[in-house]
Chains A and B, each alone.
Chain A
């Protein structure tokens, strides 16, 4: 059977509706019920080549539950956040479990012609140290993202 060619991705543009990007960065509750596991906060700043922080950039995450499962009907491991004028995003979520716990991240923005995929890990391992979040407190992690230039974050093309 002839395989169809996936539609070309294009930039999100500068006018992604505000209401689409707000109020979706808390994964700790679903339908009013709290999720099981350790509640953590992840924040970071997203910058471009010249170090300028990027405002209104959209990040989406996808992660497993506290056991590392991706099919838990009581935990929707998906969230979305937009950066503020300082380029800062934040998520409240559950620390994922499993082997080499990680959170998949996808970035969408004006001037990004395609989505960028990266991964945040909690511990060093078989991956770039640039992909490991910094622990900033008991349940606080920091994961800065540099799109291009010095200390550029590794991105994936799957």
Chain B
């Protein structure tokens, strides 16, 4: 059955130019984005991505002396399409800062300590149920330089490949109950409250670990069969 990508409701998606996030006004196109017909290129996608993107450490927390500092958490993320069908074999890249709010990245000037036991990047593939599980530590908030007091709430970055090229999804996952969520220019660029809360994980405490459950919906669904 053919796979289709339908137009999105803009209210459920981030605005292009965002107040309080100056670079968006320099980078988001001034012209309206054009719609185009979808051909073979848009409705196909790379099979065998793992030949080019090696899988990397689904465990960011480590053990014993090599354990990263911070609150141990597990993130259980399910990748589904717009039918709610799990997407097995989907490549997922994840990155986040450490428990002091520091990324291992040359561009991070935040005056917070690095953690030698925490790198903060993973690349994993969903199982048959569309699920990935990451063992890691909870990231901290950090200030955005030059913004006069914008602090990013704790969040985790996700980059996901769905079934076709137009299913590509790059987004962020937030944590429930964080006071900074209400003020974040990025989370609140999504105007629809339901769509916004879909980006906030659900906390499920378990023995020895706090579990955060979360769903990523990639674009695309099976075409409805033609009416007789």
Contacts and interface: CB of A to CB of B under 8 A. Distances in A.
A114 B123 CA distance: 21
Interface stretch (A36-44, A86-94, A132-140, A146-154): A146-154
A64 interface: yes
Contacts of B28: 111-113, 147-148
Interface string B99-115: 00001111110000000
Given A15-B105, A157-B34, A9 B13 contact: yes
Nearest to A158: B166
B36 to A, nearest CB: 5
A49 B123 contact: no
A46 to B, nearest CB: 10
Contacts of A20: 93, 95, 121, 123
Contacts of B170: 9-12, 108, 115
Given A76-B46, A77-B46, A154-B34, A112 B171 contact: no
A157 B26 contact: no
Interface residues of B, number: 79
A50 B26 contact: yes
A78 B49 contact: yes
A127 to B, nearest CB: 9
Contacts of B26: 48-50, 52, 111, 147-148
Contacts of B16: 113-114
A128 B45 CA distance: 25
A148 to B, nearest CB: 5
Interface of A: prevailing SS: loop
Contacts of B120: 17
Interface string B142-181: 0000000000000001010000011011111000000000
A1 to B, nearest CB: 7
A6 B40 contact: no
Nearest to B123: A20
22 contacts: A3-B83, A4-B81, A4-B84, A7-B199, A9-B13, A10-B14, A10-B199, A13-B172, A14-B107, A17-B95, A17-B105, A20-B123, A30-B51, A49-B26, A50-B26, A78-B46, A104-B42, A104-B165, A148-B27, A148-B28, A155-B31, A158-B36
- List 9 A-B pairs, minimum CB-CB distance, nearest first: A111-B23, A157-B33, A78-B46, A70-B44, A113-B14, A15-B103, A17-B121, A15-B105, A49-B26
Given A106-B165, A155-B29, 10 more contacts: A5-B195, A7-B216, A10-B186, A11-B186, A50-B26, A52-B26, A62-B41, A70-B44, A73-B47, A110-B23
